[in-house]
Amino acid sequence: MVKPSVLITGAGIGIGAACAGSFARAGYRTVLTDVLQEEGEQRAAMLRAEGLDAEFHLLDVTDSSAVREIVLATEGDGFDVVVANAGIVRRRAFAALTDDDWSQTVDVDLAGEMRIFREAVPAMSRRGSGSLIAMSSVSGAAYGWAEHAHYSAAKAGVIGLARALAVELGPQGIRANVVAPGFIRTAQSLDETHSMGDAALRDAVSAVPLGRIGEPSDVADVVLFLASDAARYVTGQVIVVDGGLLVRQG
């Protein structure tokens, strides 16, 4: 029996690493990619030590040629699932935001997702099935985030991308959905320079109805659900994983 396969970008740490673990333990051939070579190789090695099928490839999602090369080298007759998770966040006040700041964030957080999907779709189309899962944020789905206009814009763009792909690719048997995490304990969110930092993250618990900050595994399990046959009639949707943050009043 042929194993289902998944490619995950930004899989060396955080949510991407958790996704790699969830898919590998669910029996997928799991292809991890990241610009963080040491972390990605370590994560893949940890999964292989569990007897799981995992491999790592160094990949910068801003490099179209590299994206094409990695997908062609690893997809076989087509990936069952692609999880576009690679992203960056950089704090910049809007008045100080440069063209380079804007372009770099959009290039990774939005265009990077487009590139990985673009290369994976042809083989999915030939086989007549596939699941594309884009990673957005509550900052793209509902919230504005001060000093992060470029990040919020890119993450909102991810939602538009996935919705358009759901319509265009649905007749070919390909689903496209979005996961929008809230406050999740990752290296990115703990970065005081460019994100929230530990103290602010702990303070944010009071705004979360479930009473805790999310863990990467909380997001990974939802991603795995969207990839599964249990979500076979779900496409073009944004699934918010935030412990109830967006529906709280007062």
**Coil, strand, or helix at residue 71?**
helix
Dihedral sign for Cα 110, 113, 118, 122, please: negative
Give the torsion through C-alpha atoms of 169, 175, 181, 186, to 10 deg: -100
Q: Which residue has the higher pLDDT, 213 or 29?
A: 29
* pLDDT(188) > 90: no
* pLDDT(250) > 70: no
Tens-digit pLDDT profile for residues 199-208: 777 888 889 9
Q: Is 16 exposed, middle or buried (0-12, 13-18, 19+ CB in 10 A)?
A: buried
Tens-digit pLDDT profile for residues 104-124: 999 999 999 999 999 999 999
**Coil, strand, or helix at residue 220?**
helix
Q: Where are the domains of the chain?
A: 5-247
Integer-rounded Cα Rg, in Å, for the chain is 17
Mean pLDDT, the chain, integer: 94
pTM: 0.95
Instruction: Check residue 146 and give its pLDDT.
Output: 83
C-alpha span between 237 and 199 (Å, rounded): 32
Which is catalytic among the residues 28, 143, 151, 233?
A: 151
CATH number of 5-247: 3.40.50.720
Q: Is 208 exposed, middle or buried (0-12, 13-18, 19+ CB in 10 A)?
A: middle
Tens-digit pLDDT profile for residues 4-47: 999 999 999 999 999 999 999 999 999 999 999 999 999 999 99
pLDDT band at 195 (very low <50, low <70, confident <90, very high): low
Q: Is 233 designated active site?
A: no
Give the torsion through C-alpha atoms of 211, 215, 218, 223, to 10 deg: 140
